[in-house]
């Protein structure tokens, strides 16, 4: 089976994608600098799949290290490039850190792809490229607005770099996936999201509040122009997001038919408000959540959800799991890490 290099493979979306790749018999190599991930995820992958993929600790923003790494690799068929910084707020405070890491790494990888004749790349983009769109749902043709954060800008620039690279190098193939909001964890509760410090994202904050690590969830704003006043997002189960990468690899096998640069929305097609998340979490888990409404968070948009028709038709892919599946898996995972922590502290 083809060999897939997964950069950022020890991270949240990367690790779940690796499970799906192994299920489809792909040979996986992981490369990660572990700056925002934990090597123990490899044990989790092994526990779930029976296979411990080859691992390399490497920082792709380092040009020499990247070259040395690729020079030793043989027969990589496709790269799935997850490795990037992803905290929107942090990117506003430390823009150069974001531009340097996210853009240098992409350029280094593309240069080495070319040199070593690695033909295919799947790029982690984000629905953040749309900003606050005028019309919902957003399609792949919805105009791209000026990015709201350096993080978002690295995704827009990343797509542009890949498009130009594709034009100049017709033998190389690119699929960019615009992720909506990934949530949840593997259904076994063995792997999941591991936020460092206080979580920025809604679901880890919800589960940490429910388990007692955080006192109270703050809901950022209930004065949006939405049915209940709270902001709306398209929350996709991380395992569904993972299968979209397998579909993207299949697509790359047929590039002659489709051109060598394509972009797809990867969401569920349904918009859910923050209050709906809270209510669904309470129903699914039986946990009462302590929350209060506070002011809007700077930089947040009011609403976004995906038009998924293009991905459904062209990738033959659709999100299958429900919001309830996602929230119960996130809760199961939170309990796993909490119990692990308790045992370690004893």
User: Residues interacting with ligand UFG, by CB under 6 A?
Assistant: 86, 88, 126-128, 181, 200-202, 205, 217-220, 231, 233, 274, 297, 300, 304
Our answer to whether residue 12 is catalytic in this structure is no
Shortest spacing between CB 104 and ligand UFG, in angstroms: 19
Q: What distance in Å separates the CA atoms of residue 339 and residue 106, rounded to the nearest whole number?
A: 38
Nearer to ligand UFG, 183 or 252 (CB): 183
Nearer to ligand UFG, 76 or 162 (CB): 162
Nearer to ligand UFG, 53 or 158 (CB): 158
Q: Report how far apart the first and last C-alpha atoms of the chain are (Å, whole number).
A: 45
Torsion angles phi and psi, residue 5, rounded to 5: -90, 125
Shortest spacing between CB 91 and ligand UFG, in angstroms: 9
DSSP string, 237-256: EHHHHHHHHHHHHHHHTTHH
Nearer to ligand UFG, 55 or 235 (CB): 235
Shortest spacing between CB 195 and ligand UFG, in angstroms: 10
Burial label for 346, CB within 10 Å (0-12, 13-18, 19+), is exposed
Q: What distance in Å separates the CA atoms of residue 233 and residue 241, rounded to the nearest whole number?
A: 15
Question: Which residue of the set 12, 26, 98, 151 is catalytic?
Answer: 151
Shortest spacing between CB 125 and ligand UFG, in angstroms: 9
Shortest spacing between CB 181 and ligand UFG, in angstroms: 5
Helices assigned H by DSSP within the chain:
12-23, 41-49, 63-72, 88-93, 95-98, 105-116, 150-168, 202-211, 238-252, 255-258, 274-285, 309-310, 323-345
Nearer to ligand UFG, 12 or 261 (CB): 12
Query: In this structure, are residues 236 and 179 in contact, taking their beta carbons and an 8 Å threshold?
Result: yes
Cite the active site residues: 151
């Amino acid at each position: 089976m083809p060999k897939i290099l997964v950069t950022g493979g020890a991270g949240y979306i990367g690790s779940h994608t690796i499970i799906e790749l192994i299920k489809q018999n792909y040979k996986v190599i992981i490369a990660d600098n572990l700056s925002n991930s934990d090597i123990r995820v490899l044990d989790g992958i092994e526990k779930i799949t029976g296979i411990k993929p080859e691992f390399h600790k490497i920082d792709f923003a380092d040009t020499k290290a990247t070259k040395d790494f690729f020079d030793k690799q043989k027969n990589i068929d496709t790269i799935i490039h997850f490795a990037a910084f992803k905290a929107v707020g942090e990117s506003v405070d430390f823009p150069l850190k974001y531009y340097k890491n996210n853009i240098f790494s992409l350029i280094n990888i593309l240069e080495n792809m070319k040199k070593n004749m690695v033909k295919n790349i799947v790029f982690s983009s984000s629905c953040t490229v749309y900003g606050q769109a005028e019309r919902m749902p957003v399609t792949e043709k919805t105009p791209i607005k000026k990015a709201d954060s350096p993080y978002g800008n690295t995704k827009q620039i990343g797509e542009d770099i890949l498009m130009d690279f594709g034009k100049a190098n017709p033998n190389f193939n690119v699929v960019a996936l615009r992720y909506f909001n990934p949530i949840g964890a593997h259904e076994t509760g063995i792997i999941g999201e591991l936020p460092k410090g206080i979580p920025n994202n809604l679901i880890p904050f919800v589960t940490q509040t429910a388990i007692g690590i955080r006192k109270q969830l703050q809901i950022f704003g209930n004065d949006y122009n939405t049915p209940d006043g709270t902001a709306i997002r398209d929350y996709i189960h991380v395992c569904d997001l993972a299968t979209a990468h397998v579909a993207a690899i299949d697509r790359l096998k047929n590039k002659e038919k489709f051109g060598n640069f394509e972009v797809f929305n990867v969401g569920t097609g349904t918009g859910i408000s923050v209050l709906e998340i809270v209510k669904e979490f309470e129903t699914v888990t039986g946990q009462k959540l302590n929350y209060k409404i506070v002011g809007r968070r700077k930089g947040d948009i009011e609403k976004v959800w995906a038009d998924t028709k293009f991905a459904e038709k062209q990738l033959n892919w659709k999100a299958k799991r429900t919001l309830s599946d996602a929230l119960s898996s996130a809760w199961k995972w939170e309990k796993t890490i909490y119990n692990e922590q308790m045992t370690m502290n004893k």
